[in-house]
Amino acid sequence: MGPTSRRSRVAAPRRRCESRDHLVSRLRELRLHGFKTFAEPTRFVFDRGVNAVIGPNGSGKSNMADAVRWVLGEQSNRSLRTRRADDVIFAGSQQRKPTGLAEVVMTLDNADGWLPIDFAEVTIGRRAYRSGEPEYLVNGARVRLRDVVELLAAGQFGASSLVIVGQGTVDAALSLRPEERRQLFEEAAGVKNLQVRKNESLGRLVRAEENLTRVADLLGELRPQVRRLALQAEHQQEHDSLGRRARALVQEGHRRRERGLREALGDARRREAAALQAAETLRAELAAGEQAVAEAEARYWEAEQMARSAADAREVTREAVIRLESRGEALEARVREGESRLAAARHELASLRADDGEASELTREPSLDAALETASAAEGSWRAATDALAEVDAELMAAEEAMAEARAGDAERLAAEARRRETIVDLAAKRQRFEGELAAARAGRQEAAEAVELARADATRSAAAAAERAGALAVAASATDAARSHADEARMRATAMAERVAAAQAELDALVERAERSGAIGERLVASGWRSMIDVVRAPDAAWPAVEAVIGGELSEALLWRDADPGSATADASGTVRLLDGRRPPDAEERDRALAAVGARRTLAEWIGGDETPGIFARVAVAPDLGALLAGWRSLPAGWSAVTAEGDLADGRGLVALRGRADPAGGAAARQVARRRQVSEELVQLEPDYANAADAAAAAVAAAAAAERRRAALLRDAEAADTEAARLASQADGVGRDLERLDADVARLTASLAELGALESRGVAGDEPSAYEPDRGHEARELRVAEARMNREIAAASHRAARQAWQDARQRADELEGALVGARRGRADLLARRESLERVVGESEVALTSLGADRETLEGELAAAREGERTADSVRTDADQERERLRAELLTLERQQSGASGQLSELDRAYQAATLDVTRHDDALAGLAREREIALEALSWEAEPSGQDGEPLAARATLESPAVDPDLAAELATLDRDALDAELRRIRRLLGQIGSVNPFAVEEHREQAARLEDLSAQESDLRGAIDATRELIARLDGEINERFAIAFKAIGSAFDEFARLLFAGGSASLETVEDESGEGVAGIEIVVRPPGKRPQRLAMLSGGERALTGVALLFAMLSVNPVPFCILDEVDAALDEANIGRFAAALRKLSDTIDFVVITHNRATIEVADTIYGVTMTDAAVSRVVSLRFADLPVEANA
């Protein structure tokens, strides 16, 4: 094809698009992601006209059509070309991983409102996950699949319509049978919605008729039940009135007894509360007393510790005083020595000062040498004497210091001896006191141990008795539970038997009532003495069909003849009755002939047996089967009939009645008679069983009450035993605590005595010799001091003699000093000695000053120590007094605690006695309540209706809120106890005479009457709904037929037109053919006449002619009933080049009204497209799309 032709073919459609640019395609956009081969997000934007999708085979073009079909709600895997639901998700390839989501979103233009939703643009989406959960979305909101289908159906749009036409769809439509093809035309005619409405209406009509049948059946059953329940309700109300009076009598009697018991219980509880309050108060006081005892004991031991501390402090201060006194004596001796030395030095200094005056005069003498030498020698002697005196003074001071130290040691030893002797006295006093306390504690402990043994033995015996009583109580409780369970079971059995009797009686009443509904004439005859045949005759169950066939009607309408006139009962009566005479039996010959005629072996009377069998049954032969009956019934003697066991009848009058075998054996009346007899027999058996069960239930209830009383008595004994055991255990614990306290005292005193023994072992006890011994070196030291003093006196005498000699020499020297030099030298020596003496005097004064300061300090310390000693003595005296006071206080508190414990025991016994009274009265009230419950329960099962849970209403009443009206209560209040008992016996006797009634009759009558009314209203509503539905179906049929006829004619005309276009001549037509049975709808046959050929059926067409015919039929349906858009998936694949151009022309013609998406390989089809999408497949097995809109290309680009 040349370039010019190509340009003309492309330019024409572009100009047509330009002429309708203001129009928008209803299918605006299609987005795919993860759907089949479209793994990547892909977007198709569609324009008005023809949109072509091209690409090589296997590139994924048809997957786009599957995506549209899928998003429209398609569920068939076959239509989607998948095996499983998750096959629509991209499965991956060697180069690309699989995705977990498939999503398709289709955007539709709704500007003209062709979809019933208030949006100008509608997006419909669908998602699928590999986990299996689907999602449907409309404009982004999650919806159900049903919502999507209904929305699209409202716009004549869906997955099953002509929106998507595949390659095999057209040929499949031609391959349908004529009657199947009609459904395709109905869909094209737009009557599918009407057909759906019709089918729904037919379904509703069938359901309504079924419901009407069920309602009618229910009404037939309910009406007689309501009448029967009305009679039973009246009977029940009379029965319940007596029951209420009996219950009121029981409640009034028990109320009076309960009032006295509650008053006694109130007194007992007040006594119990008073005793408990007093005991609690005393326990609180005991607890406070115990706390006070503990605190007093703690204070006593604290005072004991303080007394010991004070004694130790006094000993310390005493030792300090003795040490300070010894130091003072030594210091006084040293002061005296220092004063003596200072006086001697001062005297010598005065002498030197006098000598110094004389020496100053001698210096003026002319010759001093001889005198000075003499004086110098005398001075040397004096100095030597001075040094010797110093040595002797040092020895004397050392001896005096040793003597002072010895005296200080003696003082310290004397003080220690004094302390030891004082300690001995204290320890002796403590030992005496501790030994007395220990003896008392040991005696108390012995008594307490004996009391503990006794208390524990009593507690053990009491605990064993309590355990024994608890075991007996457990056995009694088990027996009580078993008795209660047995009573409950017996009561349940009695209730079940009562229900069975009531049900059987009700069923029998219903059967009797149903039998009595035969007509007033039968009731009148029975009332006047005529007997019903079903009440007299006892036929086998298998014989009732034959009996019913002989009678010719309901068995309840058959009465036995009696010698009386029945005509009087027919005057104003209704209904029919059959009277069976008692004629004499036939003779043997006649009987044998009749039996032989039908091959029978016995008559009906012989089969039934009995003395009162109607005579008519004696002239009825029982044939073995229907064949024998039909073969010989004409040979029966006059007045004879023949029957079969199945109910077939033939008599000599020429009447033969056959019974269908599909009916159940025996008629309804026979079954009712059998059921009546069965129920009557059951009642005969059930009534004694019920009486026995009631007696057993009463006996079981009485046994349960007796077991409960035994259990209550054992419970009281067990509680008393537990209380006594608890009291004895508490007493044993108290005695045990006293014993523990005495053990602690004994241990404490023993430890104290052990400490005293330890002190004695260290030599402190008074029976050992004194630890003080005088110092054996004291005399030696005294001798040494005396010798040192004597030596000092000798040295002092020598010193004085040397000093005197020196003084004399000096005096002579001074006298003889004549020369100036000698005199001056002597004077210088004198001055030096004077300076030395002055220095010694200064040092001695300083030493004395220091010793004076030390003496003053020592005197202060001694005064402080003596004051501390006096204070320690006072503190020790106070501590001893406080200890003795606290000990007396502790003993007083302990005596008070002992008395309070005795009072508490008395209060506990009073509380236990009050508790026993309360328990006894509670048990009496409980027994009274159980007695009342049993009495009311016995009355309830006989005389009171049950609630919804099956419990008798009377069982719910209590003495505090009795179900008694005020008038009855006022009447009962005037009766004494004997009158109450007499009235109760009378009521029970009347109730026994009345017997059992249906306890639910009133409620059931009310419910059944309401149900009857509701069902009657439902019947009326159903009849109205059925009539309305039938009218609607008739209207829909007319509208469907009318629309189909119009559409069928239009499709036929369009089919002929498109066939002429596609075949380039010829003709085509549609014909209706009737169903072979003549009952179904007419089918549609297609007749085509290709150019130059005769009209032919589809089976005679070639493949290409079938393809053109299918396309012509498709285009005809689309032209008559256009869809919003249409996707054609390679429908032109079977057309050759000669026909593809006509197909393209027809497609272009329809594109004026329908937007097409054409998946094709044909060039001619592609050339008429306004938009082209190219689909390719990448190496990763992923489809990709390239689009081209010819309307967007300039004309020059096509040149």
Give the model confidence (pLDDT) of 29-81 as tens digits.
999 999 988 988 999 988 888 899 998 888 888 888 889 989 888 888 888 88
Give the model confidence (pLDDT) of 161-179 as tens digits.
678 887 777 777 777 777 7
18 has pLDDT over 90:
no
* Spatial separation of the C-alpha atoms in residues 1122 and 1117, rounded to whole Å: 8
What is the model's pLDDT at position 104? 94
Between the alpha carbon of residue 209 and those of residues 307, 761, 1020, the distances in Å are: 116, 124, 12
Provide CB contacts within 8 A for 813, sequence distance 6+: 362, 368, 370, 371, 372, 373, 374, 375, 822, 826
What is the model's pLDDT at position 671? 64
**What's the pLDDT band for 3 if we cut at 50, 70, 90?**
very low
Both structure tokens of 1124: 């919003």
Q: What does the DSSP 8-state code read for residue 652?
A: T
Mean pLDDT of 657-673: 67
**What's the pLDDT band for 16 if we cut at 50, 70, 90?**
very low
What is the model's pLDDT at position 195? 76
* C-beta separation of 932 from 250 below 8 A: yes
**What's the pLDDT band for 1194 if we cut at 50, 70, 90?**
low
362 has pLDDT over 70:
no
Residue type for position 993: Q
Q: Average pLDDT, whole number, for the chain?
A: 76
CA proximity to 1183, closest of 107, 132, 106, 93: 93
Mean pLDDT of 455-468: 81
Angle at CA of residue 246, ends 241 and 247, nearest 5°: 100
661 has pLDDT over 50:
yes
Give the model confidence (pLDDT) of 231-286 as tens digits.
777 777 777 777 788 888 787 777 887 888 888 888 888 887 888 888 788 778 77
356 has pLDDT over 80:
no
**What's the pLDDT band for 7 if we cut at 50, 70, 90?**
very low
- Range scoring the smallest mean pLDDT among 548-557, 689-698, 720-729, 955-964: 955-964
- Does residue 1090 or residue 339 have the better pLDDT? 1090
What is the model's pLDDT at position 127? 93
Beta bridge partners of 1072: 1084
Give the model confidence (pLDDT) of 106-159 as tens digits.
999 888 888 888 888 999 999 999 887 889 999 989 999 888 888 887 776 755
What is the model's pLDDT at position 9? 35
**What's the pLDDT band for 951 if we cut at 50, 70, 90?**
very low
- Range scoring the smallest mean pLDDT among 199-208, 213-222, 838-847, 1109-1118: 838-847
- Which segments of 961-1018 are extended strands (E)? none
Q: Which CATH class, in words, describes the domain spanning 1-163+1132-1199?
A: alpha beta
**What's the pLDDT band for 839 if we cut at 50, 70, 90?**
confident
Both structure tokens of 728: 């004895």
190 has pLDDT over 50:
yes
Mean pLDDT of 803-828: 64
Beta bridge partners of 52: 1158, 1172
DSSP string, 376-396: HHHHHHHHHHHHHHHHHHHHH
Instruction: State how beta strands 558-560 and 1125-1129 pair.
Output: unpaired
CA proximity to 265, closest of 928, 926, 920: 920
Q: Is the dihedral of CA 35, 39, 41, 46 positive or negative?
A: negative
What is the model's pLDDT at position 397? 73
This prediction has a pTM of 0.38
955 has pLDDT over 60:
no
* Spatial separation of the C-alpha atoms in residues 19 and 17, rounded to whole Å: 5
**What's the pLDDT band for 584 if we cut at 50, 70, 90?**
low
- 3-state SS class at 90: coil
Provide CB contacts within 8 A for 744, sequence distance 6+: none
| Highest mean pLDDT, choosing among 150-164, 313-327, 806-820, 855-869 | 855-869
Mean pLDDT of 574-590: 74
What is the model's pLDDT at position 447? 78
Q: How many helices (H) and strands (E) does the chain have?
A: 22, 22
| Highest mean pLDDT, choosing among 153-167, 813-827, 855-869 | 855-869
What is the model's pLDDT at position 124? 93
Q: CA neighbours within 13 Å on the CB side: how many for 789?
A: 8
What is the model's pLDDT at position 1? 38
> For residue 312, how many other CB atoms are within 10 A of its CB?
11
484 has pLDDT over 50:
yes
Between the alpha carbon of residue 610 and those of residues 92, 102, 553, 614, the distances in Å are: 92, 87, 22, 10
Mean pLDDT of 1109-1122: 83
What is the model's pLDDT at position 942? 47
Between the alpha carbon of residue 151 and those of residues 69, 108, 664, the distances in Å are: 15, 12, 54
Q: What does the DSSP 8-state code read for residue 530?
A: P
Between the alpha carbon of residue 695 and those of residues 394, 701, 707, 929, the distances in Å are: 136, 10, 18, 22
Give the model confidence (pLDDT) of 519-565 as tens digits.
457 666 776 667 777 777 777 878 878 888 887 766 767 777 766 66
The domain locations on the chain are: 1-163+1132-1199, 528-561+575-667
